[in-house]
Amino acid sequence: MANSQGAYGLRPLQMLGQAANSTGAANYPMYEIANGNTNAIYHGSPVIPLTTGYIDIVGAAAGGTVSLLGVFMGCEYVASTTLKPTFSNLWPGSGADSNHPIKAYVADDPNQLFIITSDATWTSKATAIADRFKNAQFATATSGTTATGVSGAQVDISTAATTGPDFHLRIMGWEDNPENLDFTAAGVGVIVRLNNHFNAPNGSANAGTTISVTGV
Q: pLDDT by residue (tens digit) across 165-199?
A: 678 999 999 998 888 888 999 999 999 999 888 88
**Once rounded to an integer, what is the mean pLDDT over residues 73-86?**
96
Q: How far apart are CA 26 and CA 70, in angstroms?
A: 10
For residue 212, pLDDT over 50 is answered with no
Report residue 216's pLDDT band, with 50, 70 and 90 as the boundaries.
Answer: very low
**Once rounded to an integer, what is the mean pLDDT over residues 68-81?**
95
Report residue 1's pLDDT band, with 50, 70 and 90 as the boundaries.
Answer: low
Report residue 10's pLDDT band, with 50, 70 and 90 as the boundaries.
Answer: very high
Q: How far apart are CA 72 and CA 198, in angstroms?
A: 14
Tens of pLDDT, residue by residue over 44-67, are 999 999 989 999 999 865 445 678
Q: What is the mean pLDDT of the chain?
A: 86
Say which residue, 42 or 165, is predicted with more confidence.
Answer: 42
Q: How far apart are CA 75 and CA 104, in angstroms?
A: 4
Say which residue, 21 or 159, is predicted with more confidence.
Answer: 159
Q: How far apart are CA 122 and CA 189, in angstroms?
A: 12
Report residue 209's pLDDT band, with 50, 70 and 90 as the boundaries.
Answer: low
Peptide bond into 12 cis (omega under 30): no
Determine the Cα angle at 58 with ends 54 and 41, to 5°: 70
Going from N- to C-terminal start, the domains of the chain cover: 26-107, 110-194
* pTM, to two decimals: 0.89
Are residues 49 and 57 in contact, defined by beta-carbon separation less than 8 angstroms?
no
**Once rounded to an integer, what is the mean pLDDT over residues 146-163?**
92
Q: What is the pLDDT of residue 67?
A: 85
Tens of pLDDT, residue by residue over 27-38, are 666 899 999 999
Among 33-37, 92-96, 105-109, 207-211, which stretch is predicted with the lowest mean pLDDT?
207-211
